[in-house]
Amino acid sequence: MSGLGCNYEASTFGARYPDGTCIDGYMWDLDSGDSDGLTSGGDIPCPWCNTLAHLEWNGETFKGNARQRRRARRALIKKVHAWAESRSSFPPLATQADQPLKGK
């Protein structure tokens, strides 16, 4: 996945502290691995820079015609972005990910 990856770091794997970090658009467990790198993760799409995949992973489905689905998706992406930004340890980077949030 190119163009993904951000500063997002937050509680992801059940800890009360930020135990997940975004690498190339997927969450990795900061408690895993050693100095050579993280060994556990890569399954959960990052809610900030890989939002659409995160919604799919979360089982979100959108009903209605294409226009209704697009509108529902935009509203949800906005919501997830606000949620992700508020819980991340660092301000997530703006990404080049092609998401229908900009230019709205």
Cβ distance to Zn ion smaller for residue 63 or 102: 102
- Report the 3 state secondary structure along 7-36: CCEECCCCCCCCCEEEECCEEEECCCCECC
Cβ distance to Zn ion smaller for residue 64 or 100: 100
From the CB of 36, what's the least distance to Zn ion, in Å? 22
Cβ distance to Zn ion smaller for residue 30 or 49: 49
Interaction between residue 97 and Zn ion (CB under 5 A) = no
Alpha-carbon torsion, ordered 17, 19, 22, 26, to 10 deg: -130
Q: Contact at 8 Å (CB) between 45 and 32?
A: no
Structure tokens at 52: 């659409």
Alpha-helical runs (H) found in 1-104: 51-57, 66-87
Site mask for Zn ion (CB under 5 A), range 51-90, x = bound: ----------------------------------------
Task: Name which of residues 19 to 58 contact Zn ion (CB under 5 A).
Answer: 22, 46, 48-49
From the CB of 3, what's the least distance to Zn ion, in Å? 11
CB neighbours of 59 closer than 8 A, spacing ≥ 6?
A: none
Residue ranges in contact with Zn ion by CB under 5 A = 6, 8, 22, 46, 48-49
